[in-house]
Structure 1
């Protein structure tokens, strides 16, 4: 009985925040696509974006993210704090044996800074950056050094329902000095006030390695202004890319 009352109380609390959030519009998330949103969490609001990911690299390797949690807080109107915590699993089949690592991934901290607001031909632009911390998470997943990454996030409204997003940036893996250049390009459409979808191409290129290009798409459903469900799937376009991947998640925004 106590458990039932606790669940009911939680849902009553979540739905009671809806009226307070109607004035700031629907939740804007960085999932499920790889194109990070140029929008920031409103000042004084907390946002949690979480999900599950399955990646089938090939017949010998599968990767799982049982919980990919992105925690965001709007510190100022133009500044957002971020924390990334993931619980991952990597399975690699070898001749006569198998490597199966499961645990926390290295923790990443970061920020998103607004640069411009959309105005006429001027797109909305923001700068996203993170630092992945060494010696955090499961030893098999740890990095030896700080691993920085950054992206310029650019988005533009095309019609009342159609928008386009572009990310350009680079990342370092904390093991080697070589940078990985990254790009994403996504086209999103709001089919109704609550139901939307997207299609996207994105990729990575590291010096000395073959580029990794991928294609994905998915759907979002807005339960309330502050709650969203999502589902997506994709496939690799390059020889070194995973064969396919699947994801599903949930996002929640709460006032302070």
Structure 2
């Protein structure tokens, strides 16, 4: 019986309708932002709670990691956001920047206001990737650091058969440390695989690497994740990650929600 059913099963899989994933193209879904901008007149609200288990000292909690994205044209969107961080030790695992304190130092309380834009640059054409540029700044509203930090990100991505995607990004932040300003580089690459029209999984490598501190630090992570589109304009997501060096946090989790209107 099984032998007779096997060809029928293979035939049904081969004739199944191709995936047409529903995706809100959120930027909080992974460390690597989406390469797509929001459609004109559409607003996307993204928020999440991030827990970071630092190797020394207290854990870090970030919330609401809120970002409001408003489509201004086919290639341009405005971005506003806010976040509150408790116990930061410099581990950056989302698009939210963090102050750099000595590992094991006292808890750092930060509240930041984010503003900026996202600009689509190219469409995919053969080996030429889809790409975009994000320019943001974060201004502290409360905490031990008071300088506005500029953050620039370039994102490139390719779509493959079956709607698989490979996206890469490079982020640069000019950040404020305990004693001086320094550069923080954030390369990343993510493979995004749709399982159904509403469910996607991904696997990602990313890291942050400082330049200009008395003792520079390297914090690479491996991070799997998933998201579900539970309604036409509502998406929930979860990602976790593990640090790959002694300077990186041991573990983090990031649970998020996106609502579009």
TM-score, normalised via structure 1 length: 0.80
Q: Aligned residue for 1:95?
A: none
List alignment gaps of at least 5 residues for structure 2: 1-21, 90-104
Q: Aligned residue for 1:63?
A: 60
Does structure 1 residue 138 correspond to structure 2 residue 122? no
Classify 1:101/1:169 alpha carbon distance in 2 versus 1 (closer, same or farther; 3 Å).
Answer: closer
**What secondary structure is seen at the aligned counterpart in 1 of 2:246?**
coil
1:170 to 169, 172, 189: 172
How do 1:172-211 residues align onto structure 2 when only pairs under 5 Å count?
Answer: 172-175=174-177, 176-207=180-211, 208-211=215-218
**What secondary structure is seen at the aligned counterpart in 1 of 2:216?**
coil
Q: Aligned residue for 2:131?
A: 125
Deviation at 1:146, TM superposition (A): 2.2
> For 2:242 and 2:23, how far apart are their aligned partners in 1?
29
Displaced runs of 4 or more, over 3 A: 98-102, 174-177
How do 1:41-52 residues align onto structure 2 when only pairs under 5 Å count?
Answer: 41-52=38-49
2:163 to 161, 164, 176: 161
Does structure 1 residue 72 correspond to structure 2 residue 69? yes
Q: Aligned residue for 1:31?
A: 28
Q: Aligned residue for 1:224?
A: 231
TM-score, normalised via structure 2 length: 0.79
Q: Aligned residue for 2:37?
A: 40
Name whichever of 210-219 and 192-201 sits farther off: 210-219
Which string of whole-angstrom CA distances, capped at 9 and with x for unpartnered residues, describes residues 141-161 of structure 1?
Answer: x33x22101111101012223
Classify 1:91/1:182 alpha carbon distance in 2 versus 1 (closer, same or farther; 3 Å).
Answer: closer
> For 2:151 and 2:52, how far apart are their aligned partners in 1?
22
Classify 1:225/1:242 alpha carbon distance in 2 versus 1 (closer, same or farther; 3 Å).
Answer: same
> For 2:232 and 2:36, how far apart are their aligned partners in 1?
15
